[in-house]
Structure 1
Amino acid sequence: MTTVFVVDDEREMVELIALGLKRRGFTIVPFGAGADALAAIPSHDVDVIITDLNMKGMTGLELCQHVAADRPDIPVLMLTAFGSFETAVGAIRAGAYDFVTKPVEIEALAIAVRRAAEHRSLRGEVKRLREVVAQTRGRGDLIGSSTAMQQVYGLIDQVSATDATVLITGESGTGKEVVAREIHQRSRRAGGGFVALNCAAVPEPLLES
């Protein structure tokens, strides 16, 4: 379930938004001040922050700037009664994902929240995939970060540093040649050619000779 911080120094506005979004399946955490919302972020798994632009104390822009600096993974939706181009540019420059004009239409706000939550989810997935790629970078055609694959990588690093003969066994299609090629690429003989020979295709008399 999507968790949403609703931040506004007008209590009635917070209650209105909270009620409307709760009815649409969102988990709402209300705040009357930007500083309180900012302090609560570390203790909550928040997906989206909705904040009013003009508030006493910490403004919506200031809150947005803090979130963008400390938790750029959390999208911020800015509420403003002034839907001008300058306001939109200011909100985006402060790090806001989008802005919504007042008076607030709950259904439109709910759509914006869902879109922001999906954006956050996609960014998280991209980050995860980049970490996987980083872990496997430099491994040629070998892909994987499981415990078993980490053991394979360790063995490759170990044997490629020696001149020992290596026997690689496994079922057909499990990647024996890929592992052999990786060992070659990491060995002192990497500058030489790598020759893959299909022994099953070589006539027996030729092998004996």
Structure 2
Amino acid sequence: MVSRQADYKELLGILRQAQLVHEYRARADDDLSAALYKNLIGGSRDIESVRHLARQVAATEATVLVNGESGTGKEVVARCVHELSARREQPFVPLNCGAIPAELLESELFGHEKGAFTGALSARKGRFEIAQGGTLFLDEIGDMPLDMQVKLLRVLQERTFERVGSHKPISTDVRVIAATHRNLEQMVAEGSFRMDLFFRLNVFPIEISPLRDRVADIPLLIDSFIGRLEREQGRSLRLSDCAVAALVRYHWPGNVRELFNLLERMAILYPDRLVKWSELPEKFRPNQELFEEQVNETAQWQEQLRAAASSMELPPEGIDLKPHLAEIERRLMTEALDRSDWVVARAAKLLNLQRTTLVEKMRKFAIQRPGELTGS
């Protein structure tokens, strides 16, 4: 499907990355490669690196530790590793270690027998049994109490465990992928996380960057969300160029989760229509003067172009039109780039061109920033 948000992608200078992703998809030799790009959205180098690492480790049985801030998509990475692995036909079982009370975590992981504790009215399988043959995803592993860390380490080493209230060993064939937003090495130094468990989990680390460090992915994430909204709910959402530019400038402490929550809210408030910059929540538009300045600058510049064009006259002897127009075009592009400090997206806006069109014209006319000509 051709994105209806193509204009703002070009404005923000990431269309080339999107094209690279599309080209790689087209070259994918199996459905798994396509699934990898479908789930790990983005064209930045950081996301490309995560995809590469996920493919590399998926073919092995190595334990994986995914590091990243809350909301960056650590479970998405874990699911991609599982889907690319030989275990993909078996269960993927997630467990948030920070969301389970410490006294119940052992039962959640290993299960319990009837009567093992007050309220244990029947025997129950734990996550290790449920995930047999598949992948167990332990999210927020840094929140696991020390006494449970010891028991988890034993399972990873011996591949056996016992249900709570039983002494009968149960063999397990499970791949463990852990994730955390904490600095586990620092926790080891502080004594709040076991060193031996850290080394057992950190066989193959994957770091996923915060959204503020890969802002080129934001338009692609927006496009992905809108596509899912249309497919699953029959609703739509559109954002103006300035609205998207404002979202790119925001620092996103809640990362992708915060972005998707905002888009969900905008889709409810402004269904099936264009959302303007002024309609974003106030914290997403702190630079009002900047956006007003850009709008005014664009209008003034285009008015000057119209005035200059109306004052031109054909000389009595005539002109060679093609090189004359080419020189005018080259001069105006150079002036627009100078005015915008050689920010191509802003210069393209001044000229009412798509960014990629201006890039192609710069290549055609060999237009370079002055410092680049001397190699300085």
TM-score between the two structures when normalised by the length of structure 1 = 0.36
TM-score between the two structures when normalised by the length of structure 2 = 0.21
Q: Which has the higher contact order (CA 8 A, sep 6+)?
A: 2
Q: Which has the higher helix share?
A: 2
